Amino acid sequence: MMTKISPPLRIPLLALVASGLLTVILMSVRMSLFEAYLYDFRMRNQGNDTKEIDVVLISSGEETSPPTMEQHYKVLQYLSHSPVKSITFIENFSESFEQRDPKNETFAKRFSALANQVIKDGKLFYIGTKLDVTGEEILPPFPLSKLPHYVAILHKDAAVFSEDKVTRRALLSINGEPTLHTLLADGISNRPQNFKRRGIIAAPEVKSEYFMINYRSDTREGKHPFKVVKYEDILDGKVANSLFKNKIALIGSINHDNFNDYAYTPFSREIFANPKLVVHANIIQTLINNDAIVLASANVTALITFILTAAVIFLVFRTTPAKGVASTLLISIIFIAISLLLFRALDFSLDLARPLLGIFFAYYIFVPYRLMMEYRRSSEFEKQHEILLQVDELKRNFMSLITHDLKTPVARIQGMAEVLARNAHAESDKQVVSEILSSTEELNRFITSILELATVESNHIKLQTSSKDINQVIEKCIDKLSFQAKNKNLKIESNLEPLFPLHIDATLISKVLTNLIDNAIKYSPESTTLTVSSQESDRKKGFIEISVADQGFGISTVDKARLFHKFYRPQNDYNMTTKGYGLGLYLSKFFVELHNGEIEVQSELGAGSTFTVFLPEQGVQISKGEPHV
């Protein structure tokens, strides 16, 4: 048997299932380029970290390109006398040999001998090499090939990840051997054997390990934080060797004519912007500081994508469209802000592409879905509303037909009863006929009320306004009801202030006042006093107020709220014994509002009631859509 899911659970469940599906789809799609863009964005905005810079760059490019072995030797000689910690040549020595300088071989030998001496003196000395297309190390020419040499290549994202040739990661080891950068950093920092490196990612298929470079700051020339010394300046004796105190001297070419000396970085993808030497320095610095960027695992990414998409779907269904847009935007902004903060403060990179696309898709798939559902619901509602309107009209027509048709026979009965009353002699006959007369009168009143209601509801009522002294209208109403009041020994006091004539429909206002006074008589015990007063209103400027106050049974708070509703009669003792249809106050309110006025009641159980009618001094302002004169 199928169990039905209860409506309050339906949306959370839908959100969970849909976001689960979206997450699975998103996790199976490659979106490295987008991710790389977001990674670079955070790298560029992570702030500069240039406090501890251990590398000084020596550029062999420009005027000395390529340098002769004699020039290399002289630079080494200069450095050997400096307080430098490590000397590393990332140079293509073969180019120097290609110059066929007869002195090359002599100086190469001297260079080797001096390098060995430097090593003996306790400094680190390395030559950085490249790999050929088969993955073999390209050695420097003999005798330099006998010196310590290690692979120092820059990794470009060319085959994997974003394939945009940007250098974001660096090799820790290749074919199981540490790279030059690793040896250098470890040599400088005296690392223990079991030193735990941060953010190392294994690539077992190529027997290597890599990590994400934590660039100190911008890598562009003139903007990077490393000092650059030129070969010619060293050769001309212009550089003080204290500059190299406890530093790593990194020697390589920065030649503006050779694009091989430059790389793309997250900071710039222009051809001659970022010297490779600067990237090497950043790699070494990342290893020394042990602050490689840690990438979030796929599981973390999946979890975040799932949570965020579920939240967006839930919000789209649960809040108004405007709030939906606002909260979706807010979620995205908060998520981006958190990811920036994590990158900045903890060097941790969350995967942004999938969660953001998750939010985007969740929003764009589920908003139309919600609209469709709402459209269906509102069209159903409209249909029901239309049916209700038709039923209401049928009911009104039916009531007006019936009451119309009733009117004539009732009038005839009344006429006959009056004839009978005149001719009746026996006391018992007179009694019966007077009963018939009062019952027909009551029936007549009921029919009139129903007919009035039908006219009011069909909006067919037309105001017949004229300028009237409202006090005269009030007095007439009191007169009409004085007999009834006398029957109950009630005193009617009137307290009428002289007022300017009002522009009103006197018939309708008479009906209102008659009803209020009639009610006051009906719902008051014998021998009490009613007060009818009129005056310019203090509470509502520009209005006159007419009030009918009694010392009657009063009205409870609950009943007061519904008193002006159609057919409403409170369920209480005095209503059991008093006849009425619950229409008088409903119609009174309607008529007063037609005059742009208001009606209110102040009352408490057992403490009498005061009904007040406010009418505008200016008379009726007829506006569009209302019944017209």
Q: Residue numbers of the site for ligand ADP (CB under 6 A)?
A: 515, 519-520, 523, 550, 552-553, 555, 563, 569-570, 575, 580-586, 609
Q: How far is the CB of 533 from ligand ADP (least distance, A)?
A: 15
Q: How far is the CB of 586 from ligand ADP (least distance, A)?
A: 6
How many other C-beta atoms are found inside a 10 Å radius of the C-beta of residue 226? 21
CA distance 597 to 86: 97
Q: Could you tell me which residues are beta bridge partners of residue 248?
A: 55, 86
Task: Print the SS3 string covering 57-98.
Answer: EEECCHHHCCCCHHHHHHHHHHHHCCCCCEEEEECCHHHHHH
CA distance 607 to 531: 14
CA distance 319 to 317: 6
Q: How far is the CB of 546 from ligand ADP (least distance, A)?
A: 14
CA distance 202 to 335: 29
- Give 183-251 as a DSSP string: HHHHHHHT--TT---SS-EEEGGGTEEEEE----S--STTTSSSEEEEHHHHHTT-S-GGGGTT-EEEE
H-assigned helices in 424-458: 427-457
Q: How far is the CB of 443 from ligand ADP (least distance, A)?
A: 14
Q: How far is the CB of 601 from ligand ADP (least distance, A)?
A: 8
Which among 133, 253, 129 is positioned nearest to 181, based on CA atoms?
Answer: 129
What element of type H or E holds 336?
helix 321-346
Helix axes 69-80, 104-120, angle to 10 degrees: 20
Q: How far is the CB of 479 from ligand ADP (least distance, A)?
A: 19
Q: Could you tell me which residues are beta bridge partners of residue 544?
A: 536, 615
Which is closer to ligand ADP, CB of 67 or CB of 584? Answer: 584
Which is closer to ligand ADP, CB of 48 or CB of 489? Answer: 489
Q: How far is the CB of 380 from ligand ADP (least distance, A)?
A: 35
**Which structure tokens are listed for 223?**
């903007």
Which is closer to ligand ADP, CB of 5 or CB of 607? Answer: 607
Which is closer to ligand ADP, CB of 120 or CB of 579? Answer: 579
Residue 125, classed as helix, strand or coil, is strand
Which is closer to ligand ADP, CB of 91 or CB of 452? Answer: 452
Q: How far is the CB of 481 from ligand ADP (least distance, A)?
A: 13
**Which structure tokens are listed for 21?**
């599906």
Q: Return the half-sphere exposure (C-beta side, CA atoms, 13 A cut-off) of residue 283.
A: 26
Contact, 201 vs 41, CB < 8 A?
no
CA distance 288 to 104: 35
Q: How far is the CB of 465 from ligand ADP (least distance, A)?
A: 24
Which is closer to ligand ADP, CB of 317 or CB of 523? Answer: 523
Which is closer to ligand ADP, CB of 209 or CB of 550? Answer: 550
Which is closer to ligand ADP, CB of 513 or CB of 520? Answer: 520
Contact, 11 vs 314, CB < 8 A?
yes
Which is closer to ligand ADP, CB of 52 or CB of 573? Answer: 573
492 alpha carbon, distance to own chain's centre? 64
CA distance 248 to 255: 21
Which is closer to ligand ADP, CB of 214 or CB of 609? Answer: 609
Q: How far is the CB of 450 from ligand ADP (least distance, A)?
A: 12
Which is closer to ligand ADP, CB of 41 or CB of 446? Answer: 446
CA distance 23 to 430: 93
CA distance 125 to 119: 6
Q: How far is the CB of 398 from ligand ADP (least distance, A)?
A: 22
Which is closer to ligand ADP, CB of 289 or CB of 609? Answer: 609
Q: How far is the CB of 552 from ligand ADP (least distance, A)?
A: 4
Contact, 436 vs 413, CB < 8 A?
yes
Which is closer to ligand ADP, CB of 44 or CB of 569? Answer: 569
Which among 53, 39, 46 is positioned nearest to 281, based on CA atoms?
Answer: 53
Q: How far is the CB of 603 from ligand ADP (least distance, A)?
A: 7
